[in-house]
Each structure stands twice: as structure tokens, then as C-alpha cells.
């Protein structure tokens, strides 16, 4: 583990040099500001111009923004991984004491930790404390923060280079669609969308209260299953 | 020479999954648009075209150039008789082709943009070329994908900011590319005049010339004369 601390340290030096990584630290704050300040302003404009207030959609929009942070961080760390793989750096690290698994652990842990902290703050400041208790907020933040390694492993497993990585990242928005469809539409056919990890998250927050922990468990299981499958795929392809 | 370059760039983009990903996205966009009531289709289509298809070149071109840089393709390429201008046009035109295909599908099949199809095609083609030239300029000076994404994020904010001017000085705001593109896309055929279309097109052409000069100078400075 001590060896991995060196990689952590070099990551922080890297952050200082790379403007995107500075932005990725600012991004959760920007998303928080959008959810907290911009949404009421936009609602004022839509009410004034179209007589269409969007206050009733604030919770789902805020949940959408909440799940964006880990996805963004996962993508950014995924792009670092692709850059380093294209440049052959991972092969060099593989023969150092850190090894390939140590490298991948650090690449996955950093965005998870950042997402978790950002997630808890986001939920509390955006009024989710009235919908969820403390344990549920922490559980939800842990589960959603695992979106980051999901994105990173997806890029690592399916993209042969950064060009394919960019193409794949365009499709990440699709993962968020089931969450919105489930919120706005009705019918039991929506269970077909349960393959999406964020569908469970949306159900846990807005679904039947008595099943909340079951939905949270479902969300955790789907995330773990997908991470396992993607990790195996990543190892098989580039191990 | 240019046509051969465009052909190979397009083939590379197909192999890297650009067309597949946009086929899937187009199908999803079509599902959403067909589901929406007719009166709001035009606004939603215009939003999708502006936020995604018109600017897709900006996102993709950076990855293409950075991969070529990392694989030392550019160094080899520019010692051949290939002209830099042809290289820049090939990248921009090949990506604009995808933008035009996707925009035509989502704009014309559900019927949202059928009323002003010519203005839509002009807006998409010229905005896509503009954003791709800007992307080419930024990609010439950076070395990692994240540096590039940070660059286009900041550049994107600067380019999108003039939208706010529309609420204060609507006519004057049209000198900015994003506003001219919006004007071409969202005005209904009853309101749009040939003079307005020509003025917006002229604005976008001028910005394209500037963006091309920027891309050219960045490549000369950071890639060819490095």
C-alpha cells in the first residue's frame, strides 16, 4: 500500500500541471452551484417566458446532477489511463513494485473518494436530507461514487485508443436515460430498464419508501456486478 | 489529394466507431423527438443540433490529432507533398459529413426543421466547420487528451457566452458565430428573410476564415516548425 502512496503523490503533482484535473476538482463545486443557484433562476425565466415553472422537477434534475460528478471524474481518469496506455507508460509501471493492479487501484480509488465527498455535500446542501436519512445519504453517495470506476473500466476495456475513448464517452449519456424515463413515464415495463445502474438509484430516492433499502441493495449489486465484469474484460484484453 | 484524404479520414472514423455511436444516438434522439408534441419539436431539435451535432467536430478532432501526434504520424505526414491546408480541410469536412447526416436525420424525419431545411443545413455545415477548425487549433498546442478537453471547455465557454448578449442587444449579438447559428436554426420560415439568412451565413463564413487561420498558425507553430 505504501508503494501506492507514491502514485497518489505523483497524481497530485500531475493535477497541478494538468488544467483538466484542476477543473475536475472544480466541477463538483460548479455542479453544486448550478443545482443550488442556477435552477431557481432558470425556473424564474421559464415561468416568465413560457408560464412553465420547473420547480416540481428540481429533485430529479438535482439527482441527475448528483450522478454527473462521479461519471465526469471517471471519464477524466479514464482518459488519463488511455493517454498513459497509448504512451506505453502502463507497461513501464507494470514492472515497477506498484505493478499493474496497484496502478489500476489508485486510478479507481481517487475518483471514488472525491465523488463520495462531493456526493455527501451535494445531497445535504440540495435538500435531500428531507427525503433521505443520514445512513441513506452515505449509502447512496458510496454507491453512486462507484460510477467513476465503472466509467474508467468501460473506457479501459472497450477503447483501444483515445479516439475510440472519445467516441465511447459520447455514449455515456445513454446510461443516464433510464433514470429520467423511469421518473417521467409509468408502467411495469420500466423494470426492463433495471440493467442500468442509475435506474436503481432513482428508484431508491423516488420509489416506494418501504422498498428503499431493497433498491439501494439492487443499486449496489448492479454496480458491483458491472465493475466485476468490466474489470475481467479489461484484464483479459490488456492484462 | 483532398478527396483521398477525406476518404481515408472517413474510413478511420468508421473503424473507430464514430458512425456506430452516432447511429445509436440518432436512434435515441429520433425516439425522443417522435414522442414530443409537434409544436415543441423544432425548439428541441434546434437544441440537439446546436449542443451536439454542430459541435461534435470540436470534441472528436482533438482525439484524432493527439493520436496522430503520439503515433508520430504527423511528423511523417508533413515531410510528404501533403499540404497543411488539405490536412485541415480533410479533418473538418469528414467530421462535418457526420454532423450533416445526423442533423438531417433528426431535423427532417420528425419534421421539426423541415420548414427551414436550407437554413438548417447552412447552420450545421458552417458551425461544424468552425468548431472543428477551433478544435484543430487547440489540439496542435496540447499533448494530452485532458489538456485538450480543458482547452475546449474554456474555449466553449467563451464561444457560448455571447448568447447572453441576445437578451440585451439582439441585432448586435448576431456578429458572434453561436448567435448567428441559433438565428438560422430557430427562426420559423414565416419570420426568416433571405436577407437574414445571407447576413447570418456571411457572419459564419467570416468566423470560419478566422478559425481556419488560427488552426493553420497553431499547426505551423506547434507541429511543423516545432
What is the model's pLDDT at position A18?
61
Using CA coordinates, name the residue in chain A closest to B146: A20
Q: Which three cell numbers stand for residue A32?
A: 453544486
B207 pLDDT exceeds 90?
yes
Tell whether A165 is within 8 A of chain B (Cβ). Answer: yes
- A147 by Cβ neighbours in 10 Å (0-12 / 13-18 / 19+) ranks as buried
Tell whether B64 is within 8 A of chain A (Cβ). Answer: yes
Q: Which three cell numbers stand for residue B107?
A: 431535423
Q: B102-156: per-residue pLDDT in tens? A: 999 999 888 878 778 889 999 999 999 999 999 999 999 998 888 888 888 888 8
> Cβ contact (<8 Å) for B145 and A21?
no
- Give the closest of B20, B24, B147 to A19, CB-based: B147
Q: If DSSP codes are grouped into helix, strand and coil, which group holds residue A140?
A: helix
Residue of A166, A172, A175 to mutate when probing chain B, most B C-beta within 10 A: A166
Q: What DSSP designation does B109 have?
A: S
What is the model's pLDDT at position A32?
87
Please tell me the distance from the alpha carbon of residue A1 to that of residue B128, in angstroms, as a whole number.
48
Q: If DSSP codes are grouped into helix, strand and coil, which group holds residue A56?
A: helix
Tell whether B206 is within 8 A of chain A (Cβ). Answer: no
> Cβ contact (<8 Å) for A161 and B67?
yes
pTM of the entire structure?
A: 0.82
Residue A233's nearest CA partner among A112, A147, A150 is A150
Cβ A127 vs Cβ A204: under 8 Å: no
Residue B204's nearest CA partner among B162, B175, B166 is B175
Q: Which three cell numbers stand for residue A25?
A: 476538482
Q: Which of the given ranges, A129-133, A168-172, B130-134, B222-226, has the highest pLDDT on average?
A: B130-134
- B28 by Cβ neighbours in 10 Å (0-12 / 13-18 / 19+) ranks as middle
More confidently predicted of A113 and A161: A113
Q: If DSSP codes are grouped into helix, strand and coil, which group holds residue B172?
A: helix
User: pLDDT band for position A225 (50/70/90)?
Assistant: very high
Cβ B225 vs Cβ B76: under 8 Å: no
Tell whether B164 is within 8 A of chain A (Cβ). Answer: no
Using CA coordinates, name the residue in chain B closest to A23: B150
What is the model's pLDDT at position A62?
92
Q: A141-156: per-residue pLDDT in tens? A: 999 999 999 999 999 9
A234 pLDDT exceeds 70?
yes
Q: Which three cell numbers stand for residue B121?
A: 443545413
What is the model's pLDDT at position A14?
59
- A88 by Cβ neighbours in 10 Å (0-12 / 13-18 / 19+) ranks as exposed
What is the model's pLDDT at position A13?
64
What is the model's pLDDT at position A23?
67
User: Which residues from A are below 8 Å from B17, CB to CB?
Assistant: 164, 167-168
Please tell me the distance from the alpha carbon of residue A232 to that of residue B7, in angstroms, as a whole number.
37
Sorted by where each begins, the domain ranges of chain B are: 2-224
Q: Which three cell numbers stand for residue A60?
A: 430529479
User: Which residues from B are below 8 Å from A177, CB to CB?
Assistant: 28
Alpha-carbon distance values, A192 to A167, A178, A200 (Å): 26, 9, 12
Average pLDDT value for chain A = 85
User: Which residues from A are below 8 Å from B63, CB to CB?
Assistant: 162-163, 165-166
User: Which residues from B are below 8 Å from A18, CB to CB?
Assistant: 144, 146-147, 150
Please tell me the distance from the alpha carbon of residue A99 to that of residue A94, in angstroms, as a whole number.
4
Q: What DSSP designation does B174 have?
A: T
For the segment A193-216, the average pLDDT, to the nearest whole number, is: 91
Please tell me the distance from the alpha carbon of residue A49 to that of residue A45, in angstroms, as a whole number.
6
Q: Cell 417566458 identifies what position?
A: A49
For the segment A50-64, the average pLDDT, to the nearest whole number, is: 87
- Give the closest of A82, A167, A177 to B145, CB-based: A82
Using CA coordinates, name the residue in chain A closest to B15: A164
> Cβ contact (<8 Å) for A76 and B21?
no
Q: In degrees rounded to 5, what are phi and psi of residue A155?
A: -65, -45
Tell whether B150 is within 8 A of chain A (Cβ). Answer: yes
Share of chain B above pLDDT 70, in %: 100
Residue B66's nearest CA partner among B129, B132, B13, B145 is B145
A11 pLDDT exceeds 70?
no
B90 pLDDT exceeds 60?
yes
Q: Which three cell numbers stand for residue B81?
A: 507533398
Q: What DSSP designation does A172 have?
A: T
Q: Which of A65-74, A156-165, B214-223 has the lowest mean pLDDT?
A: A156-165
Q: If DSSP codes are grouped into helix, strand and coil, which group holds residue A53?
A: coil
> Cβ contact (<8 Å) for A163 and B59?
no
Residue of B11, B27, B62, B149 to mutate when probing chain A, most A C-beta within 10 A: B149
User: pLDDT band for position A19 (50/70/90)?
Assistant: low
- Give the closest of A80, A163, A177 to B146, CB-based: A80
User: Which residues from A are below 8 Å from B18, CB to CB?
Assistant: 167
What is the model's pLDDT at position A1?
55
Q: How many residue pairs bridge chain A and chain B with CB atoms within 8 Å of each other?
A: 73
Please tell me the distance from the alpha carbon of residue B133 to that of residue B190, in angstroms, as a whole number.
33
Please tell me the distance from the alpha carbon of residue B211 to that of residue B209, in angstroms, as a whole number.
5
Q: A75-99: per-residue pLDDT in tens? A: 888 888 888 887 788 778 778 877 7
Amino acid at each position: 500500500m505504501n508503494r501506492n502512496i507514491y502514485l497518489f503523490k505523483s497524481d497530485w503533482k500531475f493535477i497541478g500541471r494538468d488544467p483538466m484535473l484542476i477543473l475536475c476538482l472544480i466541477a463538483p463545486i460548479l455542479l453544486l452551484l448550478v443545482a443550488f443557484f442556477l435552477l431557481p433562476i432558470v425556473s424564474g425565466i421559464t415561468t416568465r417566458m413560457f408560464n412553465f415553472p420547473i420547480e416540481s422537477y428540481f429533485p430529479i434534475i438535482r439527482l441527475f446532477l448528483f450522478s454527473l460528478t462521479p461519471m465526469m471524474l471517471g471519464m477524466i481518469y479514464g482518459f488519463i489511463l488511455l493517454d498513459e496506455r497509448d504512451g506505453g507508460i502502463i507497461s513501464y509501471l507494470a514492472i515497477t513494485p506498484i505493478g499493474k493492479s496497484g496502478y489500476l487501484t489508485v486510478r479507481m480509488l481517487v475518483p471514488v473518494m472525491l465523488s463520495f465527498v462531493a456526493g455527501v455535500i451535494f445531497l445535504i446542501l440540495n435538500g435531500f436530507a428531507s427525503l433521505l436519512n443520514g445512513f441513506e445519504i452515505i449509502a447512496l453517495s458510496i454507491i453512486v461514487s462507484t460510477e467513476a470506476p465503472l466509467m474508467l473500466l468501460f473506457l479501459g476495456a472497450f477503447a483501444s485508443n483515445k479516439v475510440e475513448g472519445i467516441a465511447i464517452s459520447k455514449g455515456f449519456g445513454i446510461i443516464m436515460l433510464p433514470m429520467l424515463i423511469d421518473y417521467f413515464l409509468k408502467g411495469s415495463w420500466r423494470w426492463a430498464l433495471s440493467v442500468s445502474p442509475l435506474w436503481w438509484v432513482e428508484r431508491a430516492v423516488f420509489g416506494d419508501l418501504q422498498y428503499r433499502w431493497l433498491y439501494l441493495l439492487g443499486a449496489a449489486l448492479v454496480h458491483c456486478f458491472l465493475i466485476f465484469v468490466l474489470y475481467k474484460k479489461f484484464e483479459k484484453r490488456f492484462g | 489529394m483532398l478527396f483521398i484524404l477525406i476518404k481515408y479520414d472517413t474510413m478511420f472514423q468508421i473503424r473507430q466507431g464514430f458512425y456506430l455511436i452516432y447511429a445509436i444516438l440518432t436512434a435515441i434522439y429520433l425516439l425522443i423527438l417522435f414522442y414530443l408534441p409537434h409544436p415543441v419539436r423544432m425548439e428541441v431539435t434546434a437544441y440537439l443540433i446546436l449542443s451536439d451535432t454542430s459541435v461534435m467536430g470540436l470534441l472528436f478532432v482533438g482525439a484524432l490529432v493527439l493520436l496522430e501526434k503520439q503515433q508520430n504520424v504527423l511528423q511523417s505526414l508533413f515531410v510528404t507533398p501533403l499540404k497543411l491546408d488539405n490536412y485541415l480541410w480533410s479533418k473538418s469536412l469528414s467530421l462535418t459529413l457526420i454532423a450533416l447526416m445526423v442533423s438531417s436525420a433528426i431535423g427532417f424525419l420528425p419534421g421539426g426543421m423541415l420548414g427551414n431545411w436550407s437554413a438548417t443545413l447552412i447552420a450545421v455545415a458552417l458551425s461544424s466547420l468552425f468548431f472543428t477548425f477551433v478544435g484543430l487549433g487547440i489540439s496542435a498546442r496540447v499533448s494530452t487528451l485532458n489538456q485538450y478537453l480543458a482547452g475546449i471547455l474554456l474555449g466553449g465557454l467563451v464561444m457560448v457566452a455571447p448568447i447572453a448578449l441576445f437578451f440585451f442587444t439582439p441585432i448586435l449579438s448576431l456578429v458572434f458565430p453561436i448567435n448567428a447559428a441559433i438565428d438560422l436554426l430557430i427562426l420559423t420560415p414565416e419570420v426568416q428573410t433571405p436577407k437574414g439568412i445571407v447576413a447570418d451565413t456571411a457572419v459564419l463564413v467570416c468566423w470560419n476564415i478566422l478559425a481556419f487561420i488560427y488552426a493553420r498558425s497553431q499547426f505551423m507553430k506547434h507541429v511543423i516548425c516545432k
